[in-house]
Amino acid sequence: MGCRAVDGTFVLQEWRQMKKEGFSTTVIADAQTGAAVGFIDCRDSEPVYLSLFLLDAALQGKGLGTELYRAQLRDEGKSDLSSSVSKQKK
């Protein structure tokens, strides 16, 4: 990822860069508090290219990530996804 920590500055820089490159960003918000708990950057192509998927550590490992990116594909009307994976150590 090229950074030591994911913080608001990183997310803003990533959003700006990906917007320039034709990606759209979806903010994942907590339904009760409205707080941002994740972000998805993807480009509408075939297959859909997922460049960044951030999810709060407390929500990882519960199948939520899979559910969210499948919903993103459905929203885009696509069935194929391309991505690369990098996991930040806790």
Digit-coded pLDDT (tens) for 42-71:
877 777 777 778 888 898 899 888 888 788
The total number of residues shown for the chain amounts to 90
pLDDT at 68: 81
Q: Which amino acid is at 76?
A: E
Nearest-CA neighbor of 41 among 83, 8, 77, 88?
Answer: 83
What's the predicted TM-score (pTM) here?
0.66
